[in-house]
Structure 1
């Protein structure tokens, strides 16, 4: 994986404004009763990605540990870890060819020149995308919401934002 160039990393550590939280909660209140659990499995997501893009599986333990740590260090995700189960991550880089060329051409400046990486975990269903907000939105739309996600106002609001972006729900 190509490392992000020095000087391009700009981590925004500001707290989320109360206005933004109110907006997410308003979206949650408006749409929660109309949405159903519709989460696709990691296997379904892998097949979807393989049909659209050329994937290269990354066998590196470093990649897999990043996925595991993202789950363990994030409270809503860590709740999804089944007891007595070992986490099973899988990581792919999206190759810059075919339909993925558009993703790479439209990368945010901070990711310019970096590979697009998708990390997934089979036991929790968690998915992480690095390098492309567009692909992150596409995956959010395809994957749907599980029983936990649908009751999380931020995750539901983000899902609604994504399905609106692709005109899959009426205002």
Structure 2
């Protein structure tokens, strides 16, 4: 999860990681329904109908040319916003929040058409969902997304080198 502006060293690292793993990656991106089912199987949550939250998810797609071009011409984003409840397994996510997110709600935004996800409030859940959701064919061309996916896989497997 990148929470600061990237440095030239970051970009070099992303390129090196992508070069190492890209040839063994296959498109495996999950649908919005699969992501919701995964979250539902692991964490208590409720849906948010807050238009501001849905607007944030939509703008994450529309204001990023890479994601926006995945939308069919003329289509509007179709968003879902899930708020992870601070109980059961969700409480563990709140207990492990980075200081940066302390006392913030854990939010998962999903855009159904592009299958873009965003996670706020939990680096651990971000890594877990990034590893689960996978990459599509366009994502595999993007050094940053490949590096982010590989690093998330490594974090959720406790640093084990990934064999794809």
Fold conserved between structures, TM > 0.5 = yes
Deviations 1:52-94 (A, max 9, x none): 0111100111111111111111121111111132211010100
8 Å contact from structure 1 (residues 164, 170) kept in 2: no
Which residue in 2 is equivalent to 1:92?
Answer: 82
Deviates more, 1:16-25 or 1:28-37: 16-25
Tell me the C-alpha RMSD between the 2 structures.
Answer: 1.6
For structure 2, the 5+ residue unaligned runs are none
Partners of 2:61 and 2:77 within 8 A in 1: no
Secondary structure of the structure 2 residue equivalent to 1:154 = helix
Query: d(CA) in 2 for partners of 1:137 and 1:17?
Result: 21
- The number of residue pairs the alignment matches comes to 159
CA contact (8 A) 1:80 1:124 kept: yes
Cα distance in 1, alignment partners of residues 21 and 78 from structure 2: 32
Q: TM-score, normalised by structure 1?
A: 0.88
Greater gyration radius: 1
Q: Aligned to 1:129, what secondary structure does the other structure show?
A: strand
Q: Quick one: distance in 2 between partners of 1:125 and 1:170?
A: 25
What is the rounded CA distance, in whole Å, between the counterparts of 1:166 and 1:58 in structure 2? 27
- The counterpart of 1:144, out of the listed 115, 122, 134, is 134
Map of 2:152 onto structure 1? 162
How far off its partner does 1:17 sit? 2.1
SS at 1:70's partner residue?
Answer: helix
1:93-136 Cα shifts (integer Å, max 9, x gaps): 00011111111011111221111000101111110101001100
2:69 to 79, 85, 103: 79
